[in-house]
Amino acid sequence: MTRDRWNALITEVEPAPARPGPLAGARLVVKDLIDTAGVRTTYGSRIYADHVPERTAGAVERLVAAGAVVTGKANLHEFAWGVTSQNPWYGTVQNPYLPGRTTGGSSGGNAAAIAAGLCELGLGTDTGGSIRLPAACCGLAGIKPSWGRIPVDGVFPLCPTFDTVGPLAASVRAAAAAWAVLAAAPVPRPRLAGLTVGLLRRPPSVGGRALPASPAAEAYAERLEELGARVVDATIPEPPADTWPLFFHEAAESHRATYPARADDYGENVRTKLELAQAVEPGDVERARSAVAVWRGYRPEVDLYVAPAIGIEVPPVDCRELDVRLQLTAFLRPFNVLGWAAVAVGNVQFAAPADEVAIGAALAWEAAASPGP
C-alpha cells in the first residue's frame, strides 16, 4: 500500500486473496466503526483501542464475498460523532483533494484513502451526513441508503433511528456497484429524463433555528433540464417538532456503558456532546420520536430533490468542529431524519425516498459529464 501521508488509516490490513465476483480485486477500506473479525476495531476511541472483534459486520462480509479485499481500517471522528475527522487519539485526517481543508466527517478516513489512491472503495456510515459530507469535501461519490435498506449489524451505534451504512468511491458507477452488492439488488438504471426534480434551495431545520438558503442549488437547474428533467422550485416541510432530543437520547444510550463512568477517556469534543445529551427531557424525546414518525410519512410531489451537499465553503482542517457542524450538515441531516436515500456526487446531492431513484439520477448526471464506457 502507498504510504499513508494523510492519516487516513488507523490500521493497515494484509489483504487476503480476492474472491471472484463483481468487485473482484477492489481494495476496500472499512471505517473503523465497523467490526472486522480478528482485526483491531477502535471505533475511533481510546476506550476500544485494543478491541479485536470476533465477528465481521454483515455489510463487510457481503463486499468481501463479491471480491473486494479489505486493506485497512479508516480513521474517523471519535465514535463517528463529528463532522471534521479531528481525532484526539489517532490524529486529524488530511484532505488529499483540498489540502489544508477538512475532509469532513465522520467517514473522513475513507474519503481521504480513496482520494489519495490507497483504495478503490470505502465502507462508511452516515447518521447525519457522515458519508456524503466527506465525499463532497474530497470530490468523490458517496451513497447513503434509505434507512433499513442495508444491514447495520456489527456497526457501533450512534443513533439507531438514523444510522445507515454505505459505500464511497471515486465515481457513482463504482459506488453503485458496491451498493448493489450491499443491498442484494441490481445496479439502478441511470435516469433523469422525464423526472420531476425539486430544486432545494433551503433545507428544513429538523429542529431549532431556521437555516440559510444556498445559491449553489441554482447552478444545477440548467444542466438537469438539458438531461431531460423537469426542474421546479421545491421545499420540504418542517417536522412537527424538534427532532434533536431523539438524536441526543439515542447517542446517550449508545454510550451508557462507558459514559459517564469513563468520561475522562473521551476527547473533549465528543464529551461535550455527551454532557449535553444527559440533560434531554423524556417528554422532549417522545415528542421528537413522534415527529420523526410523522415526518417519515411525508411523500413529496416531486420524484427527487437536488441540493448542494454542503452550502458553505469547506472549512480549514483546524476549524473548531462545534462551530461548523450545523452549517456543514444543513443539507445532509434532513434525509437521515426522513429516512430517505441520498447520493453526493462531489457537492451535488440527489435525494429520494427510494435508493434506485436517487442512485439512478446520480448515475445519469455522472454519465453526462463523463461519456464513454
**Cα 252 to Cα 266: distance, rounded to the nearest angstrom:** 13
What is the β-pairing status of strands 27-31 and 69-74?
Answer: parallel
Place of cell 471515486: 170
Opening angle at CA 325, ends 91 and 154, nearest 5: 60
> Do residues 165 and 125 touch, judged by C-beta distance below 8 A?
yes
Q: Is 316 helix (H, G, I), strand (E, B) or coil?
A: strand
Residue 335's alpha-carbon distances to 118, 185, 205, 352, in angstroms, are 30, 22, 11, 9
Query: What is the SS3 string spanning 96-138?
Result: CCCCCECCCCCCHHHHHHHHCCCCCEEEEECCCCCCHHHHHHC
Place of cell 473479525: 37
**Cα 340 to Cα 6: distance, rounded to the nearest angstrom:** 32
Residue 274 parent element (H or E): helix 268-277
Return all residues near 261 (Cβ < 8 A) that are at least 6 apart.
none
Closest by CA to 78, choosing from 100, 45, 114, is 45
**Residue 171 per-residue DSSP state:** S
Closest by CA to 229, choosing from 238, 237, 221, is 221
Phi-psi region of 228 (alpha: psi -120 to 50; beta: other; left: phi over 0): left
Q: What is the DSSP string of 159-193?
A: -TTT--EEEEESSHHHHHHHHHHHHTSPPPPP--T
Query: Which residues participate in catalysis according to the annotation?
Result: 31, 106, 130
